[in-house]
Amino acid sequence: MGILLAVTIPLSIRMYVMITAVLVCVVSSGACLSFLLADWAGAGVGAGAAGGLVALITSVLLLAWQTKISNDIAGASVLGNAMASDRDVDRVTLQYPGLRAYFYDNKPCPRRGRERERVLILTGMYADVLEAGLMSTRRIPASESYEDWLSYSRFILFHSPTMLAFVRAHPDWWPNLAKLC
């Protein structure tokens, strides 16, 4: 429970609490030691404690800055992977241009034949792409594109009877898409 709470509290608040706690500990320990030691030795202990506090605060701030940079890189990476997967689906529709209508123009799936097999295979691929895009952009807010993937996924779901039927038939396979149905 404590770990979950620590993760859900914004980083700035966690840093503030941590710095305050360390400040209280360092200052109180330095103050106690300075009362025990006479004159210059006590002042030295207090100054050492203050210097340690400054170093600790600096390292915590640098860690926060580094964490933000890492989150931004992760967001860009997630978005890049999702877009690459989407381009793979686009390549198939370029190779077989008639397939696009099954996802953008409400065209029902053929009842039999090669075209049906292509539509069904591409529907599974497309569902995987949309699910991965939704899941990864939701988990990494730094990608700043969750709402875009949500809109795109809804569009495909409601302009493709085959996609809608697939997701409704297998909600456990694509749980984020199933929530949109």
Render pLDDT for 148-165 as a digit per residue (tens, 0 to 9). 999 999 999 999 999 999
Q: What is the pLDDT of residues 89-146, one digit of tens each?
A: 889 899 998 999 999 999 999 999 999 999 999 999 999 999 988 988 887 776 678 8
Q: Which helix (H) or strand (E) is 4 found in, with range?
A: helix 2-8
Reported as a single tens digit per residue, the pLDDT across 71-83 is 666 666 767 777 7
**41 phi, psi to nearest 5 deg:** -65, -40
Is residue 67 a contact partner of residue 75, using CB atoms and an 8 Å limit?
Answer: no
Nearest to 93 by CA among 112, 119, 117, 74: 119
What percent of the chain shows pLDDT beyond 90? 39
Count CB-CB contacts under 10 A for residue 134. Answer: 22
Nearest-5° Cα angle at 148, 155 to 109: 25
Query: In 10 A of CB 40, how many CB atoms?
Result: 8
Cα 57 vs. chain centroid, distance in angstroms? 27
Q: In terms of pTM, does the model score above 0.75?
A: no
pLDDT at 21: 58
